[in-house]
Amino acid sequence: MSLHVEILIAKHLKNSAFKNPAVFIITLFIGVLLAYAVFSGWKNYTLQNETSEKYQHESREDWLKNPDKNPHRMAHYGNFAFRKSTPLSAFEFGMEPFFGNAVFLEAHKQNTANFSQAGFSNSMLRFGEISIAMILQILLPLLIFFFGFNAIAAERENGTLKLLLSQGINWKQLLAGKILGIASVIMILFVPTIIVLVFIWLLLQDFTISSDETLKMVFFIGFHFLYLIFFCVIAVLVSALSETSKKALVSLIGIWLLFTIILPRVTQAVGAYIFEAPSKIEFNSAIEKDILKQGDSHNPNDLHYKAIKDSLLAVYKVDSVQKLPFNYSGFIMTEGEKISAGIYNKHLDTLLHVYQKQNSFSRAMSFFNPYIAMKNLSMALSNTDYDSYIDFQKQAETYRYTMAQKMNALQIKYISNNKDKPAVIGKEHWSDVQEFHYEPKGFWVVIKNEFTSIIALFLWISLLYIFIKIASKNLKAI
């Protein structure tokens, strides 16, 4: 027998798939949801990026329009950093609706991102928004199970399975044909979705794409394709192992609930319980306590900074800060910024280490749940995962620290210690601070971070291939 047999079996399954009105209605409903997801994703991406660009531009203009003033006052006046979405985030919202996309940057203080989409939405957002990725990862596998639950079990119940096997068709051909048939039905939804997705993706970038974004898109499509084939194989195997179609359907729905609903929630809860992270209040309080131990750079009588003053006076052999060859206040502010930033980064590294353990636990669970592996990959490729949020926070903090120290350097250089002279500099210096631009993680960084998820996904596919080989030798017609 040649591949011709598998194709015939696949065509027969495809032709009979939509004879069931319920299956046709479900498919039509998912098709409508896909259309809605494309529209809402495109609108959400456009609105968010237009808003970010608008306010980033306004923040920059406000910064440059400041009059002549003391540079340290400018450091406290602050600036904003906005995070723009990547094109693939229009199809995979991930954790983005719950993360802030703007950070207020000021001297001596590290703020977290605010103005999340969830913060301005109602409680329905907690159930998740409808995105292309959500439909591909959750609803299409359910549709596959509705297509495939009776693929072989019905043949066994009707007595036609014996006839098929007696005509020279072996189990390997039958399984392969059924899998191919279900896959061809799903491609009726998947292929048009991908075509529209690619077109919208190109449109969002004005048809000017980078190699990095192209690789992300190709892998985004490729992994979702493999993921759907994976569920086609599960559907046929369970149907082949079940005595009746009813038992096959119940088993498949149980598998779907376990993979997409139960295990993800349990994984998150267990990870957070094992590797408990401090609350935001505890985190900020610990930082404040450590900073207070180091002293107050704004208090001239503080013991820590008084020691610095005494050492400076000794080095330059003068008896007052007014006689120093640089601005003393600017020097102290530079030292204070360095100390506070160091304390913050130390606490942040400790906190991120806890979150890294939680995420590592989640990635390890990919070996028990292919949905988690696919979800992690999808979010990472779309830059809507937790690592992307932390990357934005770190870029914003680097920018904040550079901005504050540049203002302190201007104070040291241009502001006199003589209080009779004006403690201001010209506003032309404000342009020395460059505008903030967020750079998303590159493709190879994503692959490196999600290597465990990739291995888990391919391991699942390999295991199913082995199961098919074993099943084709041991399955019985009755």
Kindly report, residue by residue over 294-335, the tens digit of the pLDDT: 766 666 666 667 777 788 888 888 887 777 788 877 887 888
- Number of domains making up the chain: 1
C-alpha of 122 from chain center:
22
pLDDT band of residue 120 (cuts 50, 70, 90) is very low
Q: Is the pLDDT of residue 257 over 50?
A: yes
What is the residue whose two structure tokens read 């032309």? 428
CB contact at 8 A, 295 and 302: yes
Residue for token pair 């000794």: 314
* pLDDT higher at 13 or 457: 457
Range of the domain at 162: 3-474
> Mean of the per-residue pLDDT values for the chain?
84
pLDDT band of residue 126 (cuts 50, 70, 90) is very low
H-state helical runs in 65-111: 71-77
Q: Name every residue whose Cβ is closer than 8 Å to that of residue 116 and which is 6 or more positions away in sequence.
A: 97, 98, 99, 100, 101
CA distance 238 to 252: 7
Of 226, 242, 257, give the one whose Cα is nearest residue 462.
226
Query: In this prediction, what percent of the chain has a pLDDT beyond 90?
Result: 22
67: Cβ contacts below 8 Å, ≥ 6 apart: 427
Q: What is the mean pLDDT of residues 61-70?
A: 89
What is the H or E stretch that residue 29 is in?
A: helix 21-64
Helix (H) or strand (E) holding 79, with range, is strand 79-82
State the DSSP H helix or E strand holding residue 105, giving kind and residue range, or none if neither. strand 102-105
